[in-house]
Structure 1
Amino acid sequence: MIDRFGEKIDDEPDDGDTTVTALSIADCSRCNSRGYFGTTVCDHVPDRIEINRRGMAQVRAVLAAVKRKSADG
């Protein structure tokens, strides 16, 4: 199959990809047996929640600085 950029993509993953995915899901303590963490596809990174929290804290700090700067004129 060809994607919208004209590049060939596989319709089905090969057996190696399927095995790695199955093992990743089995080893993950966050996702269910189908590989989902809630309604999101799990990436099986154990500290993903903390990574996201740190990132959002950085975003909020930058937005607060922009807001202060625009209030100062």
Structure 2
Amino acid sequence: MTNSPGPVTHVWTWPGFSSCDSSGIGLFLRVNRRCRATGTRLPLSDVPLLVKSMRVLGVDRELRLVVR
């Protein structure tokens, strides 16, 4: 039996970030997919102005958004 560590979590924080176009959202999603493939969690935090639009677009189904 091997003793493997649990998943690693890195949190992206973006305070003051107020807008993001489709290229930026695509970047978040691509990086998130690569992290998940390696067992790393990558929640996006401190983006209160983007949360509503990302939820409307359905991004929150794939990318974890942390609202503080």
> Structure 2 length normalisation: TM-score?
0.28
Higher percent of residues as strand? 2
Q: Which has the higher contact order (CA 8 A, sep 6+)?
A: 2
Structure 1 or 2, whichever has the larger Rg, is: 1
Give the structure with the higher percent helix.
Answer: 1
